Structure 1
Amino acid sequence: MAGTGPQVARSPLELLNNQAAAEPPLLVKHAGPVIFSVVGFIAAAGANWATRRPLLSGVHRYVLIVGGSMAAGIYVEKKRAEHLATRDAMFRHYIELHPEDFPPYERKQFKDLFQEWIPIR
């Protein structure tokens, strides 16, 4: 099956194209909101424990805190994606303006990387 393997970037600009990037797994894709929600749930349970209330009392507080923390997680993930996109755009623009600083890659083979072995006795 030719052409099904990972694509090899031949220049630094091709690394920033993101065309060969795989879709992240579902859990990784939504890790921020999930982590924020779990922390919000633990915070609400901790507040109940600290005030010596039953652990699951005040379900409305759990719903509000978990919902708010999930919204905060979505907001943080969105801002992070915007920041990374801006950073990649800056890198791409710099590479386009200074191509002499970023020569194309030369593929190396293993035979070129290893030195000749000489036994020392």
Structure 2
Amino acid sequence: MQASPVNDPLEILTNKGNRQPTFVSPIWNPIAGAIAGFGIALFVNWGFRKPAFSGIQNHIAFTAIGAGLGAFIDKQRDAYLAKRDAVLRHYVELHPDDFPKTDRKKYGEVLESWVPVR
């Protein structure tokens, strides 16, 4: 039996370039914001009992504002997550005794054997 690789807590919090974002990841929030902005423009027209696509400039403006807001929220979220990871990484570096390196286990080693009762 081969030795299992060691599970290091600091390695979990470090991106060494092996986790690449998907194609949709950087554009998901701006697209979702643009769709929401367009939907808001439709909803405003519905609320004022106008035809759905009247005032197309409002649709364009709400769509652009929604896309910008989605990009802003995405950037703020990335900054928050980077700061959180840095704080966690620093804490783990200061308290290595609380986070020992452990051997990885498979589910078969952790779970008890199960016998169905029929």
TM-score by length of 2: 0.80
Gaps of 5+ in 2: none
Q: In the comparison of the two structures, how many residue pairs are matched?
A: 111
Aligned to 2:100: 103
1:44-59 superposed matches below 5 A:
44-59=41-56
* Letter of the structure 1 residue corresponding to residue 52 of structure 2: L
Tell me, yes or no, if structure 1 residue 34 matches structure 2 residue 34. no
Q: Distance in 1 between matches of 2:49 and 2:99?
A: 63
Of residues 74, 85, 88 in structure 1, which corresponds to 2:85?
A: 88
How many Å separate the matches in 1 of 2:8 and 2:38?
Answer: 46
1:12 and 2:9 correspond: yes
Amino acid at match of 1:99: P
Q: CA RMSD in A?
A: 2.4
The 1-side partners of 2:61 and 2:18 are apart by 36
The alignment-based identity, stated in percent, is 33
Whole-angstrom CA distance in 2 between matches of 1:40 and 1:117? 52
Deviation at 1:56, TM superposition (A): 0.9
Pairing of 1:44-83 with structure 2 (within 5 A): 44-83=41-80
Give 1:82 shift.
0.3
